[in-house]
């Protein structure tokens, strides 16, 4: 049973890819239904204003407009939000950001719905937008929510910071600033709604957790859960940006009131303005180490601009604080964090979930300390990394397998790091520029909590149906958002049952058909759902054995599937003799183990993934342009289930990490978005990501995971950005503390260095 | 005011009445149910909507349906189907160049247009050709590999020998 079959860890084709390359996959934005209405949202005209009156009559006069809905038409609770329901489905007294929904227009055509939305007249009393989180925190600031503007705060202390700093040979203190980032999933928020054949109000739209969306829809509509059905099997990218409700409640509401199928597809501008973002954060780090290179102190303060509503801002801040000291052993730690309401959009889940920001600060500090101590940056990290049993930054013991040190050593052995002393680019893209090009190599090490942490129920249930012909269908409630999890589930199933992939199929994400497998977030699906799949496979063999014992008088013990036959202690019999024409279904649930001691609000995690990234850059000192020319990723995600999926996630993470370092920034002015399309919100293209991408699996098996697997989707991205920053510093001898680092920043810094 | 047009889509002549401001993308997706071309931005900045117009890659969101009158349009659905895929589609499958897959049809059509013009592109030429096609999931490398593999396969096919 423990022998790893070839399909696990192999390069297999994704089960969803054939339809995708043929253009046959129906995404939420592709779906239509006869007689459906187009729904458009009337969004706030001001980032902060009081609503005096809403006049829908002009919209109703537009030919084709069927219905206009306002807050008066929300039958249940006019509030939603994953953690705190502080966000109105349709605003009634006040708008707090430009994406706030004020009214919905349902019309026969998209054009009519848009025209209707333009005609809804909202009378506002415009208020001064609150755009500076520090000012929003100050006493006397206008409160955006009843409990004030500090949505969440956390304070942790371990050891004796003052005594620790007194022992330090080097102390480094800096402020860092990271911008707001858009997920820029290629498919904007979209979906359809209708009443299904059982009269259930059905929403088939993008999302990352159907069961929570079902709860949020039912609550807003005042319906019992069983009257709401949610599905979202295939989604055109998410990265956390579709974790919070987007179109789902609005769709359901319009279908509820009109009894007609409805459809929504957000424009790119609407998408950027309305959905959650990665928090812009201002950080202060003060860190110190002794002469021998032992990290003694980490002091961090985070002020995260959480925007207009809570969403997952609280948990994001918690994870940021949890990872403030990174994958290191640090005896003295102090962390203070604030998530503050403002009128700057609204922030929530995004790949990395708070680790992203903290890692930029801490890994810059690590390099600065190493330099001050004249230590090799990777040796310095290796000397301080956590091992199993060590106390993590906030003081709890690491009880999972810890591969941090092994990723560092893997990076040390890598070709890129060993070449770091070479100053000139080997093969400059433009040889005539050679005298102006500076080469640099940088590293970053990182850990990332897996799953939801303690205090937030984290479980995964799956269903498995065996047909009499020996084919099987797996049912899991998570979404396929691009990560390839469905394929990995079937690989695990195939491995455990010894049944070839060709006999397995998958049904995903439909509350009517699939059990609650939990969220499609937090690098958890392969770990938590994959484990449930393993358990289901074991259970199936056990149940088959029991039934064979009763039916055929076989000796007790599990029975194995062999094609359409059943094999066990009594030999082989056709499966059909046991099942007749019936299917045999089993369900299995995996409860993710949690840490022994809770520190509050989902902290800490029990399981972590680890990674060390090495990045090479080439900086043109004439133009300031930075090219990332190679990246090596040494990732400990436990046992790799799908090698191609692993590499794909890693490389996608590298691209996003480069974007965060060098180009991406959602810019706002007075709460208004300045970057509402791909022309102004620039993400990496094929010209920005190097050809030389190497992903090295560092497989430290986690016994609790399926085959020892953990997730890597976030670890794959988070370390890339600070590695690039450290590479730039290595190339130029100039360090940047604010992202993104653009050509003009480089030129300005070089100018300053000269003077 | 509806404009009558005749346009050949994936080999089949369609006679349609389109609106003056209707995009080719909207015509394909909403009238002909060809949803392979995706709407990612509707303003020519993502490449998810790329189709071939007389063999050349265009952003279907920027072309008016009326402009396609008398021309030939090829979408991803016209390229191959499961079981009978085009070499580019096969290569995308084999090289795991697909994650969420939302960029994939546009990516493949852009690559096809390149390979029709330049059957043996350099890595740099492929990079440049697809630089208008955004992908948020991959790091593009697997896509570049897929295009090169397909180019090889198509060259071999053109010379009548099996690769
Ligand atoms: S939809 Fe046409 S380029 Fe984006
Ligand atoms: S595969 Fe998701 S955008 Fe390219």
Ligand nearest to the CA of A649: 2
Q: Which residue has the tokens 């597809």?
A: A265
The beta-carbon neighbor of A691 closest among B79, B100, B123 is: B123
Q: In the sheet where A332-341 sits, what is the strand order?
A: A150-158, A332-341, A295-307, A281-289, A170-178
The helix (run of H) or strand (run of E) holding residue B123 is: helix B123-129
The answer to whether residues A211 and A511 touch, using CB atoms and an 8 Å cutoff, is: yes
Single residue among B19, B44, B78 that ends a domain in this structure = B78
pLDDT for A282 = 98
Are residue B38 and residue B71 in the same domain, yes or no? yes
pLDDT computed for residue A635 by the predictor: 98
Q: Chain A contact for B125, CB < 8 A?
A: no
Domain endpoint, select from B43, B78, B113: B78
A17-26+459-591 CATH fold: Aldehyde Oxidoreductase; domain 4 (3.30.365)
How many Å separate Cα A37 from the centre of its chain?
Answer: 32
Ranges of beta strands (E only) in A450-581 are 459-466, 472-476, 504-508, 560-562, 565-568, 571-574
Q: What distance in angstroms lies between residue A186's CA and the mean position of ligand 1's atoms? A: 10
Give dist(CA A688, CA A691) in Å, integer: 9
How far apart (Å, rounded) are the C-alpha atoms in residues A76 and A218? 8
CB hemisphere CA count around A394 (13 angstroms): 22
Mean pLDDT calculated for residue range A588-599: 89
B20: exposed, middle or buried (C-beta count within 10 Å: 0-12, 13-18, 19+)? exposed
- Per-domain residue ranges of chain A: 17-26+459-591, 31-127+189-265, 281-453+598-754
Whether A1 has a pLDDT exceeding 50, the answer reads no
Residues, chain A: 755
Please tell me which of the candidates A13, A483, A687 has its beta carbon nearest to residue B127: A687
Report the distance separating Cα B158 and Cα B109, nearest Å. Answer: 19
- Protein residues whose CB sits closer than 6 Å to any atom of ligand 2: A 186, 237, 482; B 98-103, 135-138
What digits encode the pLDDT tens for the residues A323-337? 999 999 999 999 999
Could you give the C-alpha distances from A175 to A172, A286, A300, A362, A728, in angstroms and in order?
A: 10, 9, 10, 11, 18
Confidence of residue A457 (pLDDT cuts 50, 70, 90): confident
| A303: pLDDT strictly greater than 80 | yes
A271 alpha carbon to ligand 1 midpoint, in Å? 14
Task: Tell me what pLDDT residue A2 has.
Answer: 42
Report the residue from B104, B128, B139 with minimal CB separation from A693. Answer: B139
Domain A31-127+189-265: which topology?
A: Aldehyde Oxidoreductase; domain 3 (3.90.1170)
Q: Could you report how far apart the first and last alpha carbons of chain A are, in Å?
A: 68
Interface of B with A in 69-108 (CB under 8 A): 75-77, 79-82, 85, 89-90, 92-94, 96, 98-105, 108
Tally Cβ neighbours within 10 Å of residue A512: 13
Distance (Å, rounded) from C-alpha A149 to C-alpha A135? 10
User: Using 50, 70 and 90 to split pLDDT, how confident is the model at B162?
Assistant: very low
Cα dihedral sign, A697-A701-A702-A707: positive
Q: What is the mean pLDDT of chain A?
A: 96
Cβ neighbours of residue A647 closer than 8 Å, sequence gap 6 or more: A695, B96, B142
Same domain, B12 and B61: yes
Q: Determine the distance in angstroms separating the CA of B50 from the nearest CA of chain A, rounded to an integer.
A: 12
Whether A281-453+598-754 and A31-127+189-265 are alike in CATH topology: the answer is no
Smallest CA separation from ligand 2 atom 4, residue: B135
Q: What is the per-residue pLDDT across A357-405, written as a single tens digit (0 to 9) for each?
A: 999 999 999 999 999 999 999 999 999 999 999 999 999 999 999 999 9
Tell me if B40 CB under 6 Å of ligand 1.
yes
**Separation CA A721–CA A740 (nearest Å):** 10
pLDDT-based confidence at B163, cuts 50/70/90? very low
Residue A233: φ, ψ to 5°: -65, -50
Residues of the domain holding B19: 3-78
Token duo for residue B88: 């580019």
Half-sphere exposure of A481 (CA within 13 A, CB side): 31
What residue owns the CA closest to ligand 2's atom 2? B100
User: Does the beta carbon of A140 lie under 8 angstroms from any beta carbon of chain B?
Assistant: no
Residue B31 clears pLDDT 90, i.e. is over it: yes
Per-residue pLDDT reduced to its tens digit, A341-359:
999 999 999 999 999 999 9
Q: How far apart are CA B114 and CA B108, in angstroms?
A: 10
Mean pLDDT of A202-227: 98
Say yes or no for a CB contact (<8 Å) between B46 and A17: no
Ligand that lies nearest to the alpha carbon of residue B61, given by its number in the listed order: 1
For an interface test with B, which of A10, A242, A657, A686 has the most B Cβ atoms less than 10 Å from its Cβ? A686
* Residue among B2, B21, B92, B102 with most chain A CBs within 10 A, to mutate: B102
Other beta carbons less than 10 A from residue A667's beta carbon: 13
Closest by CA to A495, choosing from A547, A536, A525, A523, is: A536
B44 lines ligand 1 (CB under 6 A): yes
List Cα–Cα distances, B34 to A26, A192, B53, in angstroms.
10, 18, 15
| Ligand 2 atom nearest B99 alpha carbon | 1
Query: pLDDT-derived band of residue B128, with 50, 70 and 90 as boundaries?
Result: very high
Contact yes or no for B99 and A652 at CB 8 A: yes
Residues B73 and B108 in one domain: no
Which residue of B29, B35, B42 is in closest CB contact with A268?
B42
A427 pLDDT above the threshold of 80: no
* Ligand 2 geometric centre to CA of A516 (Å): 26
Taking contacts as CB-CB distances below 8 angstroms, the residues of chain B near A654 are 139
The whole-number pLDDT of residue A680 equals 97
- Work out the minimum CA distance from B22 to partner chain A, whole angstroms: 10
- Are residues A568 and A518 in contact, defined by beta-carbon separation less than 8 angstroms? no
CB contact under 8 A, A686 and B127: yes
Domain identity same for B71 and B14? yes
What is the tens place of the pLDDT at every residue in A665-681? Answer: 999 999 999 999 999 99
Q: For B45, which residue in chain A has the nearest alpha carbon?
A: A678
With H, G, I as helix, E, B as strand and everything else as coil, classify residue A230: strand
CA angle centred on B138, ends B136 and B143, rounded to 5°: 120
- Single out the residue of A503, A528, A508 nearest to residue A518, CA to CA: A528
* Residue in B49, B136, B140, B143 to alter for ligand 2 test, most ligand atoms within 8 A of Cβ: B136
Which CATH number does A281-453+598-754 carry?
A: 3.30.365.10
Domain shared by B73 and B103, yes or no = no
| Interface contact A482-B130, CB threshold 8 A | no
**B104 contacts in A (CB within 8 Å)?**
20-21, 23
Please report the ipTM that was assigned to this predicted complex.
Answer: 0.97
DSSP letter, residue A82: S
- Output the residue whose Cα is nearest ligand 2's atom 3: B135
Candidates A17, A267, A481; nearest CB to B98:
A17
Ligand 1 contact, B47 CB (< 6 A): yes
Whether residues B8 and B74 share a domain: the answer is yes
Q: What is residue A534's predicted lDDT score, i.e. its pLDDT?
A: 97
Dist CA A46 CA A41 (whole Å): 15
CATH number, domain of B32, equals 3.10.20.30
Model confidence at A523, pLDDT cuts 50, 70, 90, reads: confident
Q: Does residue B39 have its Cβ closer than 6 Å to ligand 1?
A: yes
Are residues A527 and A705 in contact, defined by beta-carbon separation less than 8 angstroms?
yes
* Cβ-based contacts of B102 with chain A (< 8 Å): 27, 185-187, 236-237, 482
The helix-helix angle for A210-221 and A248-258 (nearest 10°) equals: 50
| Per-residue pLDDT reduced to its tens digit, B33-81 | 999 999 999 999 999 999 999 999 999 999 999 999 999 999 999 998 8
pLDDT tens per residue across span A389-401: 999 999 999 999 9
Strand duo A472-476 + A504-508: pairing: parallel
Final residue in a domain of this structure, among B29, B55, B78: B78
């Amino acid at each position: 049973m423990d022998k790893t079959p070839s399909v696990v860890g192999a390069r297999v084709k994704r089960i969803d890819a054939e339809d995708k390359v043929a253009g046959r996959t129906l995404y939420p934005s592709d779906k239509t239904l006869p007689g459906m209405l187009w729904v458009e949202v009337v969004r706030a005209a001001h980032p902060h204003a009081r609503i005096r009156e809403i006049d829908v009559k002009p919209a109703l006069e537009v030919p084709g407009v069927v219905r206009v809905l306002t807050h008066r038409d929300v039958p249940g609770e006019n509030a939603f939000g994953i953690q705190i329901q502080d966000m109105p489905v349709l605003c009634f007294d006040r708008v707090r950001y430009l994406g706030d929904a004020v009214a919905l227009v349902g019309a026969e055509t998209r054009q009519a719905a848009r025209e209707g939305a333009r005609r809804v007249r909202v009378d506002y009393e415009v208020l001064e937008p609150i755009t500076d989180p520090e000012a929003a925190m100050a006493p006397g600031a206008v409160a955006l929510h009843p409990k004030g503007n500090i949505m969440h705060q956390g304070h942790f202390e371990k050891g004796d910071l003052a005594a620790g700093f007194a022992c330090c040979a080097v102390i480094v203190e800096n402020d860092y600033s990271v911008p707001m980032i858009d997920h820029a999933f290629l498919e904007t928020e979209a979906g359809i709604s209708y009443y299904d054949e059982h009269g259930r109000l059905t929403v088939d739209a993008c999302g990352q957790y159907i069961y929570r969306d079902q709860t949020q829809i039912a609550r807003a509509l005042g319906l019992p859960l069983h009257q709401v059905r949610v599905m979202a099997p295939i989604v055109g990218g998410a990265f956390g940006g579709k974790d919070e409700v987007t179109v789902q409640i609005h769709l359901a509401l319009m279908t509820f009131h009109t009894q007609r199928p409805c459809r929504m597809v957000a424009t790119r501008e609407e998408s950027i303005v309305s959905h959650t973002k990665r928090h812009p954060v201002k950080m202060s780090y003060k860190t110190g180490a002794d002469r021998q290179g032992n990290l003694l102190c980490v002091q961090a303060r985070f002020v995260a601009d959480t925007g207009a509503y809570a969403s997952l801002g609280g948990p994001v801040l918690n994870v940021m604080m949890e990872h403030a000291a990174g994958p290191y052993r640090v005896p003295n730690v102090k962390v203070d964090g604030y998530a503050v309401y403002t009128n700057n959009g609204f922030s929530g889940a995004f790949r990395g979930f708070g680790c992203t920001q903290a890692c930029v600060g801490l890994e810059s500090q690590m390099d600065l300390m190493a330099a001050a101590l004249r230590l090799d940056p990777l040796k310095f990290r290796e000397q301080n990394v956590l091992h199993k049993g060590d106390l993590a930054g906030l003081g709890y013991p690491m009880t999972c397998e810890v591969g941090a040190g092994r990723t560092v050593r893997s990076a040390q052995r890598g070709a890129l790091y060993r070449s770091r002393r070479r100053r000139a680019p080997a093969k400059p893209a433009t040889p005539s520029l050679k005298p102006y090009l500076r080469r640099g190599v940088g590293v970053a090490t990182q850990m990332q909590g897996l799953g939801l942490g303690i205090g937030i129920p984290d479980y995964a249930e799956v269903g498995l149906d065996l047909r009499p012909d020996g084919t099987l269908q797996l049912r899991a409630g998570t979404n396929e958002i691009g990560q390839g999890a469905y394929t990995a589930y079937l690989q695990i199933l195939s491995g455990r049952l010894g049944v070839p992939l060709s006999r397995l199929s998958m049904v995903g994400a439909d509350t009517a058909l699939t059990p609650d497998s939990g969220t499609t977030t937090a690098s958890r699906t392969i770990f938590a759902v994959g484990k449930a799949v393993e358990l289901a496979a074991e259970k199936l063999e056990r149940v088959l054995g029991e039934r064979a014992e009763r039916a055929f008088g076989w000796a007790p013990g599990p029975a194995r599937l062999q094609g359409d036959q059943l094999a066990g202690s009594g030999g082989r019999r056709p499966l059909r003799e046991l099942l007749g024409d019936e299917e045999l279904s089993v369900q299995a649930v995996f409860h993710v183990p949690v840490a022994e001691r809770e520190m509050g609000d989902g902290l800490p995690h029990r399981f972590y993934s680890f990674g060390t990234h090495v990045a090479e850059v080439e900086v043109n000192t004439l133009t300031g342009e930075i090219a990332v020319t190679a990246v090596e990723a040494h990732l400990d995600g436990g046992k790799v289930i799908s090698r191609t999926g692993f590499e794909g996630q890693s490389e996608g993470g590298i691209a996003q990490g480069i974007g965060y370092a060098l180009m991406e920034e959602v810019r706002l002015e007075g709460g208004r978005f300045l970057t509402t399309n791909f022309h102004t919100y620039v993400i990496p293209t094929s010209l920005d990501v190097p050809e030389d991408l190497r992903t090295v699996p560092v497989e430290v098996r986690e016994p609790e995971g399926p085959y020892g697997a953990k997730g890597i989707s976030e670890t794959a991205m988070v370390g890339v950005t600070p590695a690039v920053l450290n590479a730039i510093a290595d190339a130029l001898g100039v360090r940047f503390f604010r992202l993104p680092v653009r050509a003009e920043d480089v030129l300005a810094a070089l100018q300053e260095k000269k003077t | 005011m509806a404009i009558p047009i005749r346009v050949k889509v994936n080999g089949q002549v369609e006679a349609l009445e389109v609106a003056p401001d209707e995009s080719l993308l909207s015509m394909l997706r909403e009238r002909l149910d060809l949803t392979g071309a995706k709407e990612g931005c509707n303003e020519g900045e993502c490449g998810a909507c790329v189709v071939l117009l007389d063999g050349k890659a265009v952003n279907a969101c920027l072309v008016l349906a009326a402009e396609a009158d008398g021309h030939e349009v090829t979408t991803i659905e016209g390229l191959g189907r499961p079981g009978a895929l085009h070499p580019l589609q096969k290569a995308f499958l084999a090289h795991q160049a697909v994650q969420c897959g939302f960029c994939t049809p546009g990516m493949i059509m852009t690559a096809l247009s390149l390979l029709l013009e330049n059957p043996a592109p350099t890595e740099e030429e492929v990079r440049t050709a697809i630089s208008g096609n955004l992908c948020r999931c991959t790091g593009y490398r697997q896509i570049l590999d897929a295009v090169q593999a397909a180019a090889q396969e198509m060259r071999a096919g053109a010379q009548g020998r099996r690769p």
